[in-house]
Amino acid sequence: MGSRATQSSTLASWSAEKAVDGNKNIWTSCSSTGYTTNPFWRLDLLKIYRVHRVVVTNRIDCCPGQISGAEIRVGNSLKNDGNDNPICTVISSIPTGASYTFSCGGMVGRYVNLIIPGKQKVLTLCEVEVYGTAKISPYNRGSVFSCHQFSDRLLRIHLYAFSALHTGKSHDMTMRATRATA
């Protein structure tokens, strides 16, 4: 299993996958779009999940406003690049270097988008963590799944089953999108 990150444009080497590389406090490990209308970043989870919360980390060195007003959207549509999916929340602001958690209350979707509506905007993200659940068979309980090859590093979605006795029913699993060095 895996996931893929993409964004509307890329400023220099600030590519989309840097927002899921596990580095929260290194400004050179952030993603950033160029100045554009309605800049967005999207994570394709490759399967449909119930998204419970999204943790977003802002840039540590400067420019905290490059995340202000961003909408977090969760859904299954790629219409308008996924930016028409239902809104989980709007990020009013996140201080420089801080991580904020936003509850999405189990919204269902394959795509998690962050978009700043407007002209001549920049979207910068230093880390995005998506937490949610998926129904699984009790036969897979306790398994850890990975990986999707993403250039020279692995992009992983780890699924951890909740401890439970075998009841013959599906069990929830917790999902966290991360990227680790190969």
Q: What pTM, to 2 d.p., does this model score?
A: 0.75
Distance CA 59, CA 94 (A): 9
**Residue 44 CB neighbours (<10 A):** 18
Integer CA distances (angstroms), 67 to 106, 109, 121, 126, in order: 23, 22, 10, 10
Domain presence at residue 170: no
Residue 93 maps to a domain: yes
- What per-residue confidence (pLDDT) applies to 9? 97
Express the helix, strand and coil content of the chain in percent, nearest 5 each. 10, 50, 40
In 3-state terms, what secondary structure has residue 131? strand
**169 inside domain:** no
Is residue 132 predicted with pLDDT exceeding 90? yes
* Cis omega (within 30 of 0) for bond into 147: yes
**CATH number, domain with residue 76:** 2.60.120.260
Closest Cα to residue 49, out of 182, 159, 169? 159
Instruction: Determine the average pLDDT of the residues in 40-62.
Output: 96
| Domain count for the chain | 1
Q: What is the pLDDT confidence band of residue 3, given thresholds at 50, 70 and 90?
A: confident
Query: Between vectors from CA 55 to CA 54 and to CA 57, what angle results, nearest 5°?
Result: 140
The residue segments making up the domain with residue 61 are: 4-128
Residue 11: per-residue pLDDT: 96
pLDDT band, residue 162 (cuts 50/70/90): very low
Residue 176 in domain? no
